[in-house]
Amino acid sequence: MSLSTRKIVISGILGAVAILLGVTRIGFIPVPNLSGNATIMHVPAILGGVMEGPVVGALTGTIFGIFSFLNATIPLFADPLVAVLPRIFIGVTAYLAYAATRRINLVLSLVLAATVGTLTNTFLVLGMGILRGYLPAEAFWPIVLTNGLAEVVIATIITVALVLGIERARKGGASAKAS
């Protein structure tokens, strides 16, 4: 496997955005449920997967994972198998969903990518948490239904707006930059 300079830089910088969303708390949206917060920290990984392919998606997710591991405030994330491993797949599954439906409709494919990417995060993190014994198996569906679904809605809104906005700005931005 070799990485182009482009992939290295975009993964790194999207990783920085994920970290930024975490440290500034911009990436947390208060929702009325047990955990109190839904996060959009995984959205850069989805963006990386959608805009630059699965490798960038995986690397961005890895950085997000390493960061949430290093800054773990709850014991669940002090275990690299829960904090890092599941995050690698966010960008990959988001890319697959996007690539499979891209030809049908752009907005649909972005909605699917955001949904699949977010659920990958929710399912795998909770699944690992249960496998490793930090959470009881009974907690799985309640958390998915409260936190997971709120995160899907939020991630979808953000991902669609961001990708469309960036695409539009890139097209219009070329002439603006030249002037």
Partner 1 sequence: MELSKDITLGQYVPRDSVIHRLDPRTKIVLWMVLITVLFFIHTYTGYLVFALFILWVTHLAEIPVLYALRGLKPAIPFIIVLFIIQLLFSGSLFADSPNVVFQWGFVRITTDAIRTYSLIMIRVVLLFLSVTILTLATSLVGLTDGMENLLSIGRRIGIPANELAMVMVIALRFVPTLVDELEKIMKAQMARGALIDEGNFIQRTKQKIPILIPLLMSTFRRAEDLIVAMEARCYRGGKGRTKRRQLRLTALDYRAIGITAGFLVFLMAFIRLVPPPW
Q: Does 70 bind partner 1 (CB under 8 A)?
A: yes
Phi, psi of 110 (to 5 degrees): -70, -40
Closest distance of CB 179 from partner 1, Å: 15
Candidate residues 61, 69, 95, 113; the one interacting with partner 1 per rule CB under 8 A: 69
Q: Does 131 bind partner 1 (CB under 8 A)?
A: no
By C-alpha distance, which of 9, 35, 42 is closest to 114?
A: 42
Task: Give the H or E element holding residue 28.
Answer: strand 28-30
Candidate residues 41, 46, 47, 124; the one interacting with partner 1 per rule CB under 8 A: 47
Rounded to an integer, what distance in angstroms lies between the CA atom of residue 103 and that of residue 72? 40
Cβ atoms 102, 91 nearer than 8 A: no
Cβ atoms 55, 90 nearer than 8 A: no
Q: Does 130 bind partner 1 (CB under 8 A)?
A: no
Closest distance of CB 13 from partner 1, Å: 5
Candidate residues 45, 63, 126, 128; the one interacting with partner 1 per rule CB under 8 A: 63
Phi, psi of 37 (to 5 degrees): -135, 135
Q: Which residues bind partner 1 (CB under 8 A)?
A: 1-3, 5-6, 8-17, 19-20, 23-24, 26, 29-32, 38, 40, 47, 59, 63, 66, 69-75, 78-79, 133-136, 138-139, 150, 153-154, 157-158, 161-162, 165-166, 169-170, 173
